[in-house]
Amino acid sequence: MTTVEEFAEGFLEEPGYLDFARVGPLSASVVAEVQGINEVFSRGRFGSLAPLRNEDERMRVAASALTGFPADQIVFQPNVGTGLMHAMFGLTGAVLLSRAEFPSLTFSAARASEALHAVQPVWLETDHGRVTPGTVREQLSDSVTAVAVSLVDSRTGYVADIDGIRQVIGDRLLIVDAVQGFGVVDAPYEVADVVVVGAEKWLRAGWGAAFMALSDRAIDNLIPVWSGHTGAGVVDPFDEVLPPERAATAFTVARADSVAQARMSAALEDVASVGVDVLEAAVADRVDRVIDLADEYGIPVASARETPERAGIVVIEPPHDRLTALSASLFNHGITATTRAGTVRLSAHVSFGEETLEMLRGAFTSYSTA
């Protein structure tokens, strides 16, 4: 097993980076993985490229270890949006989701409805943007065949209770966009029917790599609308167009990027070597320190304070006429964060250290005395 300290030493970003909810800078192991494969790829030595085909199985096994889904029910996707499109275009009936979800969810539901008229978005009225089992229960109807939710809300950092949502929706499909939390939230992914995860945030493996895990129920009920030759169950189906097989692989279009798979595998294996529960606790400690510092300087915290309801995100909300001053102070002190809709989102990973804390303290000091 790897300790949190050993894990944290494997990251390369400079102090002041507090924007992991937007994108996580690559880890040293991911960089090494890419460099190694690029060296092999660039040479093209006899027989050297064949092992790249093994990266698909490696990625699926690594994802299986962290989600609880069987490896043969996990497929690589080029990004989260594509995986969610596969799910939404495959639905029939109504899908219940909030308009406040990240656009990957809302746009995929809307586009599927517009194109096929087989699925209809039903917009959930939320509790201040929070999707809870109670709000879902109140707005379920017989026409709803699926519920879609983000594991972690990108604007507030709120962690959805997907186990509670499963209990209230019965045997309807549960679709979870888990990118904003995977690797730092120890969630019961196995209660979902579709889990889509990207590598670019807390996994810190870059853009262009994602996976989609499907339950037996999802495979049986979703129609693989976007299914290419790789979804037919035959290696090279020349001279005939075969139907999609009844398997997770049906939700693929073409052969995967082996280099992207290797990046994601390295990151997933690193997380598994520490344990998501251990990383969750370590990130919670970092978040506590950010919240304590905001409280010390009287900067209102708009995100959840209780550990079970939050991920690695702290949202601070200064008075409207002071937002520019706070953003400028953070910028001047080298703090990378996201400013959006009147708030500042700070997101901390395990590599958050004393130097970053002192840089943040300097920014808050400048802001409070300006």
Delimiting residues of CATH 3.40.640.10 domain(s) in the chain: 28-274
Q: How confident is the model at residue 280 (pLDDT cuts 50, 70, 90)?
A: very high
SS3 content of the chain, % helix, strand, coil (to 5): 45, 15, 40
Residue 330 contacts residue 354 (beta carbons within 8 Å): no
For residue 213, what are its two tokens? 């895990």
Delimiting residues of CATH 3.90.1150.10 domain(s) in the chain: 4-25+275-369
Residue 299 contacts residue 364 (beta carbons within 8 Å): yes
Identity of the amino acid at 103: P
pLDDT tens digit sequence for 328-363: 999 999 999 999 989 999 999 999 999 999 999 999
Mean pLDDT (the chain, rounded): 95
Identity of the amino acid at 210: A
279, with CB counted inside 10 A (0-12, 13-18, 19+), is buried
pLDDT tens digit sequence for 6-54: 999 999 999 999 999 999 999 999 999 999 988 888 888 898 788 888 9
pLDDT tens digit sequence for 204-239: 999 999 999 999 999 999 999 999 999 998 888 888
Q: Which residues pair with 19 in a beta bridge?
A: 347
**What residues contact 182, with CB distance under 8 A and at least 6 apart?**
66, 151, 197, 201, 202, 203
CATH 3.90.1150.10 fits 4-25+275-369, yes or no: yes
Q: How far apart are CA 367 and CA 349, in angstroms?
A: 24
**What residues contact 211, with CB distance under 8 A and at least 6 apart?**
59, 60, 63, 74, 75, 76, 77, 83, 196, 197, 264
Residue 137 contacts residue 168 (beta carbons within 8 Å): yes
Q: How confident is the model at residue 75 (pLDDT cuts 50, 70, 90)?
A: very high
Is a pLDDT exceeding 90 seen at residue 257?
yes
Query: How much is the pLDDT for 307?
Result: 83
CB atoms within 10 A of CB 197: 31
The CATH number of 28-274, from 1.10.3210.10, 3.30.1330.10, 3.40.50.2000, 3.40.640.10, is: 3.40.640.10
Stretch 94-107: mean pLDDT: 96
Closest CA to 49 of 61, 38, 57, 41: 41
- Per cent of the chain over pLDDT 90 is 89
CB atoms within 10 A of CB 144: 19
What is each CA distance from 281 to 4, 180, 259, 316, in whole angstroms? Answer: 10, 17, 31, 21
Residue 272 contacts residue 93 (beta carbons within 8 Å): no
Q: How far apart are CA 213 and CA 219, in angstroms?
A: 10
Residue 54 DSSP symbol: G
Q: Enter the pTM of the model.
A: 0.95
Name the phi and psi angles at 120, rounded to 5.
Answer: -130, 120
